[in-house]
Amino acid sequence: MAPPASSETAAYVALGRVGKTYASPRGPVAALVDINLDIRPQEFVSVVGPSGCGKSTLLKLVAGLEGTTSGTIDIGGKPLDGTPDRLGVVFQRDVLLDWRTILDNVLLSIEFTRKPTADERARAAALLNRFGLGGFEHRFPWELSGGMRQRASICRALLADPDLLLMDEPFGALDAMTRDDLNIELAQIWQDTRKTLLFITHSIAEAVFLSDRVVMMSKAPGMVVDVITIDLPRPRLLAVRDTPEFAAYVHRIRHHFAELGIVKE
Amino acid sequence: MMRFAWRLFLGDNETRDVVVVLAAALVLWEIGVYVFQPSPLILPAPSAIFAAFLETPGLFLRHLGFTLWMTCLGFVLAVVIGVALAVGIVYSKFLERTIYTLLVALNSIPKVALAPLFVIWMGTGPEPKVAIALMLAIFPIVIDMVLGLRSVDPDMLALAKVSKASSWAVLIKIRFPCALPSLFAGMKVAISFALVGAIVGEFVAGSRGIGFQILVAQGQFDTVRVFVSLLLLGVVGTILFFLVDYAERLSLPWHVSQRGRHQSSADRA
- Cβ distance of B162 and A87 shorter than 8 Å: yes
- Which residues from A are below 8 Å from B155, CB to CB? 91, 93, 95
- Interface contact B261, partner A, CB < 8 A: no
Residue B87 lies in a domain: yes
Instruction: Select from A115, A131, A162 the last residue of a domain.
Output: A162
Residue B156 lies in a domain: yes
What mean pLDDT is predicted for residues B55-80? 95
- Which residues from A are below 8 Å from B169, CB to CB? 111-113
Among A59, A92, A99, pick the best mutation site for testing chain B contact (most B Cβ within 10 A). A99
Q: Which residue of A has its CA nearest to B251?
A: A99
- Interface contact B255, partner A, CB < 8 A: yes
Q: State the sign of the Cα–Cα–Cα–Cα dihedral B148, B151, B156, B161.
A: positive
Range of the domain at A128: 95-162
Residue B237 lies in a domain: yes
Instruction: Select from A129, A162, A195 the last residue of a domain.
Output: A162
Q: Which residue of A has its CA nearest to B163?
A: A109
pLDDT of residue B161: 92
- Interface contact A163, partner B, CB < 8 A: no
Please give the DSSP secondary-structure letter assigned to residue A30: E
CATH of the domain at B149: 1.10.3720.10
Residues A4 and A78 in one domain: yes
Residues A193 and A213 in one domain: yes
Residue B37 lies in a domain: no
B255 phi and psi, to 5 degrees? -80, 150
- Give B5-22 pLDDT, tens digit per residue: 555 555 567 778 878 888
Residue B160 lies in a domain: yes
CA-wise closest residue to B138 among B187, B174, B173: B187
Residues A50 and A106 in one domain: no
Give chain A's domain count: 2
Instruction: Select from A117, A137, A162 the last residue of a domain.
Output: A162
- Cβ distance of B156 and A112 shorter than 8 Å: no
Please give the DSSP secondary-structure letter assigned to residue A89: E
Residue B1 lies in a domain: no
Residues A14 and A30 in one domain: yes
Which of helix, strand or coil describes residue A160?
Answer: coil
pLDDT tens for the 265 residues of chain A, in order = 444 444 456 889 999 999 999 988 998 988 999 999 999 999 999 999 888 888 889 999 999 999 999 999 999 888 898 888 889 999 999 999 999 999 999 999 899 988 999 999 999 999 999 898 989 999 999 999 999 999 999 999 999 889 999 999 999 889 999 999 999 999 999 999 899 999 999 999 999 999 999 999 988 788 898 999 999 988 888 889 899 999 999 999 999 888 887 777 6
Picking from B159, B162, B254, the nearest residue to A99 by CB comes out as B254
Sorting pLDDT into bands at 50, 70 and 90, what band is B267? very low
ipTM for this prediction: 0.87
Residues A139 and A66 in one domain: no
Residues A33 and A72 in one domain: yes
Give chain B's domain count: 1
| Cα gap A35→B203, rounded to integer Å | 71
Residues A12 and A36 in one domain: yes
pLDDT of residue B29: 94
Sheet containing strand A70-75, edge to edge, reads A29-39, A13-22, A70-75, A78-79
- Give B230-253 pLDDT, tens digit per residue: 999 999 998 999 899 999 988 887
| Cα gap A37→A45, rounded to integer Å | 10
Neighbours of B236 (CB within 10 A): 17
Please provide the average confidence, as pLDDT, over all residues in chain B.
88
Range of the domain at B158: 76-255
Residues A40 and A116 in one domain: no
CATH of the domain at A228: 3.40.50.300
Residue B149 lies in a domain: yes
Q: Which residue of B has its CA nearest to A62?
A: B162
